[in-house]
Structure 1
Amino acid sequence: MKDIERFISGFRRFRENYFGPEATHFEHLKKGQNPKTMLIGCADSRVDPAILTNCAPGDIFTVRNVANLVPPFEEDGGRHGVSAALEFAVCHLEVEHIIVLGHSGCGGINALMAGTSGCGGDGFISRWMSIAAPARERVLAELSDKDPLLQRRAAEQAAILLSLENLRSFPWIDERVASGVLSLHGWYFDISEGELLEYRPERGVFEPIT
């Protein structure tokens, strides 16, 4: 119950800051949202996009899932939560940027590399992480003789690049990127160093932003 009590106290502070007598931030947000950036991040409790970027409510349209993955474009009649969010952000909110934010020590990537799942068997985690199977295969092929920790870090970054590729498989994303009205970004948060890296396609590497 201590966590719940702390969360409720936190909401009281949030309400005082944003809905108090001198607060004006939510006046225009009450009418709707108009973020220019979408961020696809990991569900990991240590990697909160709004906290990492010091954003205010309404600044970023966020989707979080295990290992910050973007599935490829599919029209199979399935229930595609990430794809639906992408469609809303791109076609309705008309965002100008999509950021895929990965991080070090990702549990989903660790499970992918170890070949394990959550509750045993062919469960939700293993099926979801199969999206990143090409990243795993690439890392094991190119870094077969390297330390497992280095392999996992490489896989975390390779999964970001794979998600960026999958974004281009959505026709309404690809055409907007091609026309220059939408930009895609790959970011990697190094938890141990407190450092944010961005993928530089012209150099083919992740380099520190800060």
Structure 2
Amino acid sequence: MEICDLIAGYGAFRDKQFKKYKNRFIDLVQQGQRPKVLFIGCSDSRVDPALITNSDPGDLFVLRNIGNMVPPFSPDNDFHGTAAGIEYAVSVLNVTDIIVCGHSHCGAIDGVYREINDPALIHVKKWLELGRQARDYVEETLKEGESAKKKLEMTERISVVFQLSNLLSYPEVARRVEEGTLSLRGWYYKIKTGELEYYDDDSMTFKPMISDA
């Protein structure tokens, strides 16, 4: 898709889709946004939060970055964009749920296993340090001889768990989770099949969101 296609797409949105949601947009302007869910997802163009969840405008407050990473709380860190989004969602919008959604075939997770020396990727290199814990855990846990594919898939899932842990380093997130007004959820989306898994705290495994049985 090229820029001309996006402009044509806007024309279709203005003439059709906007009219469908016109009253909703008016309400969202007059009443303000009231999303109940913060969705932290990857910037990967193949992973669309609204498409996956069949959500309407105003339903999700979305943060996207490469690797769906969550920097630990630190007033002096360099990752203010994601941290500010989390704080705003929790303390201003009063969301009741935060979803961290990882996915298959993630280039960021693949990147945590590679040495990045390109000076044009200085910020990418720094950002991917947030995936080191997941990488190290998998390398220490996975049996020798396992395929690279299995290693990456495991790291994609385990990274979600570590990002959930990082969320709890935010004082207000931790407080609201403790009092029961905020829930943290880990999801894993399979691009090729459209399947969605959720992290089950009790079994410490990812399970199908919807069972076919």
Task: Report Cα offsets for 1:128-165 as digits up to 9, x if no partner.
Answer: 01011111000001114121111111110111000000
TM-aligned CA distance change 1:77 to 1:155, over 3 Å: closer
- Which residue is equivalent to 1:127? 126
Task: Report Cα offsets for 1:65-113 as digits up to 9, x if no partner.
Answer: 0100001000216451100000100000000000001000000000102
AA aligned opposite 2:142: L
TM-aligned CA distance change 1:181 to 1:205, over 3 Å: same
Q: Does the residue aligned with 1:35 lie in a helix, a strand or coil? A: coil
Contact 1:118 1:125 in 2 (8 A): no
AA aligned opposite 2:14: R
**Structure 1: runs of 5 or more not aligned:** none
Contact 2:110 2:152 in 1 (8 A): yes
> What's the C-alpha RMSD, in Å, of the aligned pairs?
1.9
Answer with 60-69 or 190-199: which moved more: 190-199
- Which residue is equivalent to 2:66? 66
1:8 aligns with 2:21: no
Contact 2:71 2:79 in 1 (8 A): no
1:205 Cα offset (Å):
0.5
Q: List aligned pairs for 1:48-63, cutoff 5 A.
A: 48-63=48-63
**Structure 2: runs of 5 or more not aligned:** none
Answer with 18-27 or 184-193: which moved more: 18-27
TM-aligned CA distance change 1:78 to 1:23, over 3 Å: closer
Partners of 1:76 and 1:11 in 2: CA distance: 40
Moved runs in structure 1, 4+ residues, more than 6 A?
none
- Which residue is equivalent to 2:89? 89
